[in-house]
Amino acid sequence: MKGAMAVIRLAYHWGAFGFLIGAAVFLTIPSVPSWAQEEVTSKIYRYRERVATGYYEGYEVSPRRARAILETPGIRRDRFSIGASAAAVRIRTHLPDSHRGLKFYYRTTCIECHPGQARNLHSMRAGITCRQCHGPEPIAAINHYYSAMNTIRRHAYVCSKCHEGATASFSGFYVHEPPSTALSTRESFPLLFYTSWGMLVLLLGTLAFFVPHSFMVGFRELLDKTKAPESSVGKLANSVSHRIMGGIRKLFEKKKVPENEVDDAA
Amino acid sequence: MLLKRFNRTQRLSHLFLMLTFLIQSGTGFGRLFITTDFGRSLCKIFGGYEAAIVIHFWVGILMMTGFTVHIVYLIKRIKRRDLVNSVMGPDSLVPGPQDAQHLFQRILWTMGMGSPPKLDRWAYWEKFDYWAVFWGLPLLAVTGVMLKFPLLTTQVLPGWTLNIAALLHRAEAILAASFIFIVHFFIGHIRPLSFPMNEAMFSGSVHLEEAMQEKPLWVERLKQEGKLEMMKAERPALWYRALYFVFGYSALGFGLYILINGIVYGRFIQLH
């Protein structure tokens, strides 16, 4: 019986040892063979890859009705709204190349014309550049039917590059979130505007009440020469504060004395 | 003479909340300020930007477990036979009309008018402290889980709710941290009545003279009910006092480190 146990133990140890060696060897084999990675040199091929075929695809969805940002076709929401004929020239959200005909386009960078658009969580935290989502030239307008950024397929072409399993609802997250406290946000994203102002008022209101109130209570307690019993540090602090507060008290008392004398004299 | 104020469960709850809150603020504000030197050094304590979110999530789960345990504790503490008194009575933290009166009277007293209010066991600022955490925790938990699982969330809700969730999570975190690191720390440490440290939450007891001075109604009530002798507490051991002084001041230091750097570096981050 003892001999059988020894054999089993030996077999177990060698088996475990062999398994570890095998695992170590297995891990050194590259898990993804190099031929699985394609090398793309053709610009046309790349462009075709990110533009829709125009045929209805399985992942495409009808645009959701409930959207936070209200859009009216032909009317730009800005300080000055523009008419329909001017909108046809100036509003570029439906063009196959949204920057078509712009002068000196190739000498400018994205944020020269779109200031502040790079200040979002995707670029600030993950270091994602404009073109990683919006694509290389030509950049199709966001509402162009074949555009990768069109909301009917944005989740499949753009979001799911990193967020595996992204849905159309998921792509409704506003990457270029408007400044939450700005007055213009009340029209473009009202819920964000009211949430942020609500929380700001709550924060400032709480601090504006409790900070002065606590400090005044503290000051009043100092004036009353309150004792912190039995703690030696407290006693020391009290003797120091007692002297300071005694001095302040004397100042007040000196002021009061002449007033009484005047009253008595009268 | 020492008067018992907090039992062991309550003190352990406070310790638990202290530790989890400080870890959450360390990891959370470290990530919020990651584009600054302060955020990077704060994140480094917890193992960097990626490790901080893992800690933040699991400590959040731990916190919510603690919150659930606390709810069970609350339900157990309610006496069904004496429901009104145990929920609205003087031993309860539920705010009542007398709290507004105490607040008004105390404001007048700070300006030198009248006498300080005769407080019972829980003062209005202690009740505010409790309920601020009580509603803040579930809000942070719900928005935090929404942001942790965005794909699952957007299966139920539209995508723009994540923008709102992110805003709420940050705003509530800033609100909670600034209240704790300014007001709560001032009341617990710097206020003359509790300087250098209010030991009640660690030793579990307060001095009778101190209680008579600040909460005379509570002491009177105990005397009338004949519970004063029962509530007599032992003096905490010296090693224990030394331990909680060091611990309390470490927590204070960490909180002030976040507060001061948060104010200094606040203009380098954007909140949207």
State the total domains in chain B: 1
Residue linked to tokens 């006496």: B79
B75 half-sphere exposure, CB direction, 13 A CA radius: 6
For A5-26, how does the pLDDT look when each residue is reduced to its tens digit (9 = 90+)?
889 988 999 999 999 999 888 8
Q: Which residues of A touch B132 (CB under 8 A)?
A: 206
Each of the 272 residues of chain B gets a pLDDT tens digit; together they read: 899 999 999 999 999 999 999 999 999 999 999 989 999 999 999 999 999 999 999 999 999 999 999 999 999 988 888 888 888 888 899 999 999 999 999 999 988 888 889 999 999 999 999 999 999 999 999 999 999 999 999 988 888 899 999 999 999 999 999 999 999 999 999 888 888 899 999 999 999 888 888 899 999 999 998 888 888 888 899 999 999 999 999 999 999 999 999 999 988 887 54
Choosing among A163, A226, A232, A242, which should be mutated to test the B contact, i.e. which has the most B CBs within 10 A?
A226
Which sign does the torsion angle of CA A209, A214, A217, A222 carry? negative
Could you list the residue range(s) of the whole structural domain that residue B212 is in?
Answer: 2-268
In 3D space, the residue among A167, A122, A175, A195 whose CA is nearest the CA of residue B157 turns out to be A167
Cα distance between residue B205 and residue B88, in whole Å: 24
CA of B151 to nearest chain A CA: how many angstroms apart? 6
Q: What is the pLDDT of residue A80?
A: 57
Q: Are B151 and A163 inside 8 Å of each other by CB?
A: yes
Q: Residue B272: which residues within 8 A CB-CB, separation 6 or more?
A: A177, A178, A179, A180, A196, B167
Instruction: Return the DSSP state at A225.
Output: T
pLDDT band at A177, cuts 50/70/90?
confident
Distance between CA atoms of B65 and B265, rounded to whole angstroms?
33
Q: Do A169 and B154 touch (CB under 8 A)?
A: yes
Residue A38 has pLDDT above 80, yes or no: no
ipTM score for this prediction: 0.91
Out of A130-144, A245-259, B169-183, B229-243, the most confident range is: B169-183
| Chain A residues near residue B110 by CB distance under 8 angstroms | 213, 216-217, 219-220
User: CB neighbours of B74 closer than 8 A, spacing ≥ 6?
Assistant: none
Which pLDDT belongs to residue B192?
A: 84
Strand-strand pairing, B205-207 and B232-233 = unpaired
Residue B265 tokens read as 């570096």
Q: Which two tokens stand for residue A231?
A: 């703690």
How is residue B91 written in tokens? 């031993």
Give start and end residues of each alpha helix (H) in B6-149: 8-32, 37-45, 48-77, 83-88, 97-110, 124-148
pTM higher than 0.90: no
Q: Decide if B103 contacts B124 (C-beta within 8 A).
A: yes
**CB contact at 8 A, B180 and B21:** yes
Q: Is B34 on the interface with A (CB under 8 A)?
A: yes
Q: What is the pLDDT of residue B18?
A: 95
Distance CA B105, CA B217 (A): 15
The pLDDT score that the predictor gives to residue A68 is 41
Distance CA B120, CA B220 (A): 9
Helix (H) or strand (E) holding B239: helix B238-265
Instruction: Give which of A209, A221, A236, A242 to mutate to test B binding, by max B Cβ within 10 Å.
Output: A221
Please give the residue of chain A at the shortest CA–CA distance from B197.
Answer: A234
- Provide the CATH number for the domain around residue B262: 1.20.950.20
Cα–Cα distance, A161 to A139 (Å, whole number): 18
What's the confidence (pLDDT) of residue A66? 45
Interface probe, candidates A217, A242, A248, chain B, greatest B C-beta count within 10 A: A217
